Amino acid sequence: MRSRSEPATALRHRTVRTPAGRLHLAEQGTGPLVLLVHGFPESWYSWRHQLPALAAAGYRAAAIDVRGYGRSSRPAATDAYRMLDLVEDNVAVVRALGEESAVIVGHDWGSNIAAASALLHPGVFRATGLLSVPYAPPGGPRPTDVLGRLGGPEQEFYVSYFQESGRAEAEIEPDVRGWLAGFYAALSADTMPARGEPDPHFVARGGRLRDRFPAGPLPAWLSEEDLDVYAGEFERTGLTGALNRYRNMDRDWEDLAPHRGAPIEQPSLFIGGALDASTLWMSDAIDAYPTTLPGLSASHLLEDCGHWIQQERPDEVNGLLTDWLAAQKLTSM
């Protein structure tokens, strides 16, 4: 709770009870609730530029640590990180904050989590903003069957590389800070490998993901102090909870089978980076938005922007988010 001397606009940290056990969040501002969900490998801190901007615009912004990350609980079982569980965590956060509904905004895996939350609980999540990863309805072939064919005999797609418990951890754990710096740089507009260089989304057979990370300075959006924050969290928690999200993709495919092909009807917004592989590879999903996101207000591709869009281009993302929220004419419940 906020102390009597603490202004309503100050950043506040708290934990709430969810099916995960304990879930940490940082919140700022008062007004209609906007729930912010990060991706891999990040934390609530990924929304550090959006929290004050949303608060200044008249919203109560709450950025969570997804289960397995930061100060939130880290269940031991791999299958405790399936999508259905993460959605129920989000519902519990809304209730714990004393609200009946919220707008949910997610980036990277958080975009998938936000979309699933809106799909499964339309009465709780009245609008959804999706950053970097486009919405594709549940369905299609089993994910690992598709992923296993990517890359051919000489290399392996990074999502497949993450599937085996302990494999990626063995690469990352000896130098968490260095690995994170390389991963962030590999997907940032100003430091990503040039066209024709080895693609850091793939691992050479028998190699490591970090073998294809760019060498050189940090991306412009990431200071040494920012990197210290991220590294400090993962040096404390390890990466297994975060990686377990990837290890539940087939379970999610089975769990969400009743919703195959289902659109998200609520008001929605998409923002992607024009240089982000997520937007390039999923261009067909963006083209399908008139069917899959019938409530879409706008779809934006930011030129010369990579994957970490709300950190690479915070002012533009803040403007798009606050304009979209204002158009929804939200009121506190």
End-to-end Cα, the chain, rounded Å: 19
CA pair distance 77, 61, nearest whole angstrom? 30
Question: Which candidate, 330, 275, 326, places its Cα nearest to that of 298?
Answer: 326
Catalytic residues, which ones?
A: 108, 307
Distance CA 311, CA 128 (A): 19
CA distance 50 to 67: 21
- Cα Rg of the chain (Å, integer): 19
∠ Cα 140 135 41 (to 5°):
100
Q: HSE on the CB side for 115, CA within 13 Å?
A: 29
Round to whole Å and give the CA distance between 68 and 77.
Answer: 11
- Supply angle C-alpha 122, 126, 128, rounded to 5: 100
Token readout for 219 is 């991306």
E strands, the chain, are 12-18, 21-28, 33-37, 60-64, 102-107, 125-131, 155-157, 202-204, 268-273, 296-302
